[in-house]
Structure 1
């Protein structure tokens, strides 16, 4: 594995020239120049509806095919099982409605208190419409570890929706083990990989459905779902009569945004080049993301240790396996006040519940939530020092790093 060169990485992000320390990556990463160039190049080239006759048609077709292959390489899946949508939320609503057509009264759907609402509310609403029963899987507020799913599984379980990593607390449940339990019960598993895919290698083949969002890992704003093509063949979504019934296009309603797909391919290539080694892009992606994971975890440990030394701070989320995401509150200050003061110091660390409605409620935080500091591959030690100093300044303390 090549060494991870954060100085070289930072040079690829024009936004960092503005001078802020970015801990807002969980809401959307900054964009490298190569991705912006790919988007602009595609938009200024001749394009048409997909086809093989004209150069414009071929360019559109090749852009889509390249993006499917890129995302399959990133997720360890197959390009024939890659579905693009406007967002993860939109894709999940679409698939919840398609799957709910197969449910009936007495069937059961399991959702968790740990998930982002985009992997909760679509399933709750689809189950209600089908007359199915919703079951809730909780988590320990002290450790932020997900509870054991086994007691909830029955022969009436049809689907389990679970996160691969909490966008609020960073918790990384053992979704492969959960998937094995779900499959043993004869049910399907839908995994929200939005927060995890930016921070660690992913092999999504264990999940029936795995979703992510390229804008969390340097790409444009869209959503991606991967599933086995054979499974996709069994689902009949609502769609226009003249539109193709071929998988995966069957699930992509309307013309795809070619420029965003070109940017997605560029983002995957960018990740593969961070610290990647190997003869295939998949191998380079895995080795790069392992290097990213080591870099981010080391900085997270330093940041967490320094924040703990500040009087009056409360840190949430203590799972054994976590992303580099910290959630904290400060005595005597609302989360919004802390975030505003950090912004004044040039540190971008937002406050709120970040659409993680259920975990925020479960922790007693409510809509005000707390302050979230998320690390990214472009985060360096100086960013960590700035965040710690800015938080300490609010308390009048002077922690050492």
Structure 2
């Protein structure tokens, strides 16, 4: 891979606000967007907390036809893609469409539409024999995850490679990593890459209830997500999306583009161990981190900020802490590390891309987002997890990591464009 890849456009749909500006304002404020679920009556569930996006599709530029056709995840993907395209300043009419591709990550695809249409078709589950005439003609698009990439490609006029990456909770990192690789190897010049997920539905809530992965802290939803805190007891389900314009660095320089950062390194691994279990030593995550840092030519002391997966489950936070100590050595105790899931919850496949947006903006503005709700430090998580308040700091190199059900472990390194180590 001889071609360096830059991020030149960012678009975000996240709890707490739609758009890059609203997202970053929430990140530096330390406020949370986690609340009691309002999309349906959650009273029968163990966990009744989520981070919902207040989203008016037509207000954000989608036509009534697009709203009817697209699942909510696809709507998020298209709105955030349009924002990143505008932010990039690219004139797509001047590009070869066959050299522009799309890579979208998602863990659960069209879950929202699939569940809604099943309830209509079965009369809320009362009928086993159903009449297909009652189903939406667009249900097939929700059933096939590839529709996410197709919708973004249509919005951008991209006729190059198009794919959906689904690797659980690392999907948002892996989709951007895949897009980076396509540009680096010369298969594309520009990629629209990111992820979208909208899992706040009864079926998804029931699934996580069954394995007790989500928090039962229903009496205090605003403070329910507590990564690295001694009192943490599970993650808060969320929804959202983030999309980026990626382009070859020389291509970006030639047109005078604003470069948020360069994707210096990326790696993913699978622990081949357990669907949901993690070993406390963090060996597999450590391997992904080592490879990404080696590819970026970074020594541990060069990392200025670590964006943790930080889901708020007991085993994940211990696993990560072990991985950071293993790979960063003594620098693990000096570098600021934080989890934005404390503020916007865990949007499954989308969160990795949303976290990349936070990393790029941390470099842009010289501010490290905090870990909200961190008041009682867990002795087993004894690193600098930036409790409760954002911190001003020059950030030239960021490490972002993700951990997903199935044993997936991914890591990505972003650096400033002018940094040469």
TM-score bracket, normalised by the shorter chain, equals: under 0.3
Query: TM-score of the superposition, structure 1-length normalised?
Result: 0.26
Query: TM-score of the superposition, structure 2-length normalised?
Result: 0.26
Query: Which entry has the higher C-alpha Rg, 1 or 2?
Result: 1
Larger strand fraction of residues:
2
Larger helix fraction of residues:
1
